[in-house]
Structure 1
Amino acid sequence: MPQPFSKSSYTAQLKAFIAAHHELMQILQALREIEAQAYLAAGVIRNSIWAQLHEQAYPLHQTEIDVVYFDAQENGTGEQQIRNKLETAFPDMLWDVVNQARVHHWYRMDNGNSIAPFSSLAQALAVWPETATAVAVQLDASGQLKIIAPLGLQDLFELKLRWNPAMVSYAVFQRRLNDKAFLTRWPELQLISS
């Protein structure tokens, strides 16, 4: 079984991991130039850490890479502009760019109801389906890595797959487990039922 990262400081370890990851740093540097407020988030961070803990390669080519930002003043065109620039810079990668300030315009709960607008990027991440997915990383103007992880980093580094009931049902979580094959891909993951 792979050894989890030390509990001393998951934040410091995430920063060190990303700083040593050439491709992620290239993307973060380009992203800073394209949209200074944008973050890499979700699967690309989660999967990179879980692959490392399983001593597996995780190539970013042909991988969906989530980019998130928060701009309540934007009219809805920014996502496509950022995506176009990223596709030009990194044509072998698949980009999912979302302004979390606009999610309430299109996202629907299981019952069909719309959601209230988020007030921040951290609030948006806090309702993502799995605790280990609610992580975003940015390279700021001074070259420092900035992390938003409203649900913490413990589950990510301790290989715990835990449902976050803040917005999605357990049925949605189960569909994601099957669709993404988390437990097959990373057999050391522990499915946490509570």
Structure 2
Amino acid sequence: MSDLETRLVEIVRADPDLMHVLRTVRGLGLDDWRVFSGAVYQSVWNAVTGRPVGYGRKDYDLGYFDPDVSWDAEDAVIKRVAAAFDEPFRSDVEVRNQARVHLWFIDRFGEPYDALSGTDEALERFVAPAFSVGVRLEDDDTISVAAPFGLEDVFSLTIRPNPHRPLARGWAKVVESASARWPELRVQT
């Protein structure tokens, strides 16, 4: 485990709300799941900038992978996850079957999106390497980390476009929103 990965795990473990989400989701037995995006990178940014745990966090993005791409199957999982939490977590944990993303992505974001083969593959397509970090609480209580671009950007407070995809259509909005909450961010284009 790299020094940055060790530090990330320490930050995750120091966040009681994030750990609550990870423990609860682990108990649900979802296939190929991760909590990713803002719930993870924003925790790092808070630790690096000295902000309180949970500052700026809007939600907990939970991805899992089920080859059944029907809406009914995903809706059943969304309801099952919601039933496992009390408020405010019930409203804050956003669940998406990564096997279904290609079905709705173009309508929502105006960009094509090829089907995925697993949850970790989704991280490779996020708009910025700093956002492309996911964690899972394993059965043995270790925290596994998926970060296809590494962890340097998230720890150096750097937002730059994903080099493997076109600039996201909502890039300016993403940068503006993040910079408003963490003005220390360094934006590269």
- Return the TM-score normalized by structure 2: 0.84
1:189 is aligned, of 181, 185, 188, to 185
Q: Is residue 152 of structure 1 aligned with residue 147 of structure 2?
A: no
* Counterparts of residues 56-67 of structure 1 (less than 5 Å): 56-59=51-54, 63-67=58-62
Change in 2 beyond 3 A, CA 1:192/1:112: closer
Distance 1:113 1:56 in 2: 34
Q: One-letter code of the match for 1:142? A: D
- Which residue does the alignment assign to 2:22? 28
Change in 2 beyond 3 A, CA 1:105/1:52: same
- Which residue does the alignment assign to 1:71? 66
Moved more, 168-177 or 33-42: 168-177
2:46 is aligned, of 24, 36, 51, to 51
Moved over 6 A (4+): none
Q: CA RMSD in A?
A: 2.5
Change in 2 beyond 3 A, CA 1:145/1:110: closer
Conservation of the 8 A alpha-carbon contact between 2:11 and 2:47: no
- Return the TM-score normalized by structure 1: 0.82
Change in 2 beyond 3 A, CA 1:142/1:190: same
Conservation of the 8 A alpha-carbon contact between 1:135 and 1:148: yes
Equivalenced residue count is 184
Distance 2:108 2:78 in 1: 28
* Counterparts of residues 98-177 of structure 1 (less than 5 Å): 98-108=96-106, 112=110, 114-177=112-175
Conservation of the 8 A alpha-carbon contact between 2:175 and 2:187: no
Conservation of the 8 A alpha-carbon contact between 1:39 and 1:69: yes
For the residue of structure 2 that corresponds to 1:107, the secondary structure is helix
Unaligned runs of 5+ in 1: 1-7
Q: What is the Cα deviation at residue 110 of structure 1?
A: 9.2
Conservation of the 8 A alpha-carbon contact between 1:131 and 1:164: yes
Q: What is the Cα deviation at residue 61 of structure 1?
A: 10
Change in 2 beyond 3 A, CA 1:159/1:111: closer
Unaligned runs of 5+ in 2: none
